[in-house]
Amino acid sequence: MTTALLSVSDLAVTYRTQAGLVAAVDGVNLEVPAGAMLGLVGESGCGKTTLARALMGVLPGNARVSRGRIVLDGTDLQALSAAKRRALLWRDISFVPQSSMNSLDPVYRMRTQMREVLCGRGDLSRGAADTRAADLFQAVGLNPVRLNDFPHQFSGGMRQRAAIALALALHPKLVIADEPVTALDVIVQRQVLDMLRRLGEDMNLTAIFVTHDIAVVAYLCTVTAVMYAGRIVEYGPTADVLARPAHPYTMGLMNAFPDLEGPTQDLAPIEGSPPDLHTPPTGCRFAARCPFVQPVCTTTYPAPTDVAPDHWAACHRVGEAETLRAQATEAATWQS
């Protein structure tokens, strides 16, 4: 991992709500190396989607970036005007949503929607656009004949493939996919994952996959970032993070995750729920649920600490990670 294509530093996104300001993303530091597939993992409400939308510059009206920098391939995105920022969409940053029904327009044929991106955003001629669209459909495993169809004529998996084809249309530098396979059945999910893996290798894609499914990250992603309550708590090469998690939250997620192999003893749930971000706790945000909590954890936020090459975790007890890992595998540890 040498050059970062995307580098995010101390990013904070604040929502204005009736109950006051909420920082859904609060001090995120993240690097996405060129050519990497980064898995962004976390529970609902931890700020994954807000972070993804902030990167694209498409936050809802009551949210704004209140702090921090987003640098894509040397360009500081926060310094750009709104119009320039919008112009980056599809060309430099593209998006695959969870439910592609939301991104595909039901009243237009796929060909029209492809043209809209290719001609409207990419300045291709109609003929060139149609050729490119056919190539893209082929690449994602769809028959180019289906370009004449409407989205409702596609199955769920096909729709997701079409949404991926759209996202890849203009060779974007970065693709952000929000739960791209969550709504799919296992077999279809696997087919789409295999296709993404192949595309990643063939096109040297840089992508961020937002997901709550560790297994999907393990299958597809080279780098993993674990998010909790608006912050990244652990980051590193996927193999290393999953085999040697250094943050207790990551350990907890791994233990709670059901597997198809191994003994079926009780899974260890992480008791409690994430903190209310209207009044975020001082200190480590996982402290209230962490079985390894110490006094310092409730007063000071732990600085990210390296545990291996390119692998860091934000935990005060990161030096004892090996001992904690052993304890974390026992369900009793997690019972409060």
Partner 1 sequence: MAELIAAANLTKHYPTSRTTRQMLRGERPVVRAVDGIDLVIQRGESVGLVGESGSGKTTVGRLLLKLTEASGGTLNFDGAAVSGLSGDSLRRFRQQAQLVFQNPFDSVNPRFTIRRAVAEPLINTGVPRAERDGRIAEAMRLVHLGDFHRYADKHPSELSGGQLQRVVLARALVGRPSFLVADEPVSMLDVSVRAGILNLMRELRDRLGLTALYISHDLTLVRYVCERTLVMYLGRIVEDGPTSEVISRPAHPYTQALIKAVPRPRTDQSREDLPISGGLANAVSPPSGCRLRDRCPYAFARCAQEVPALLEVAPGHRAACHLTSPANAAAA
Binding site for partner 1 (CB under 8 A): 43-44, 155-158, 185-191, 193-194, 197, 212-216, 218-219, 238-239, 242-243, 252-261, 264, 266-271, 273
Distance CA 212, CA 197 (A): 18
Q: Cα angle at 53 between 61 and 11, to 5 degrees? A: 95
From the CB of 257, what's the least distance to partner 1, in Å? 5
Q: What is the residue type of 10?
A: D
From the CB of 194, what's the least distance to partner 1, in Å? 7
Which one, 236 or 302, has the nearer CB to partner 1?
236
Which one, 57 or 230, has the nearer CB to partner 1?
230
From the CB of 258, what's the least distance to partner 1, in Å? 5
Q: 295 CB contacts (<8 Å, ≥6 apart)? A: none
From the CB of 171, what's the least distance to partner 1, in Å? 25
Which one, 12 or 36, has the nearer CB to partner 1?
36
From the CB of 74, what's the least distance to partner 1, in Å? 31
Q: 64 CB contacts (<8 Å, ≥6 apart)? A: 13, 14
C-alpha distances out from residue 201 to 72, 158, 178, 248, Å: 21, 21, 20, 32
Give kind and range of the element (H or E) at residue 293.
none
SS3 state of residue 177: strand
From the CB of 272, what's the least distance to partner 1, in Å? 9
Q: DSSP letter at 334?
A: G
Distance CA 260, CA 92 (A): 39
Structure tokens at 126: 């109609």
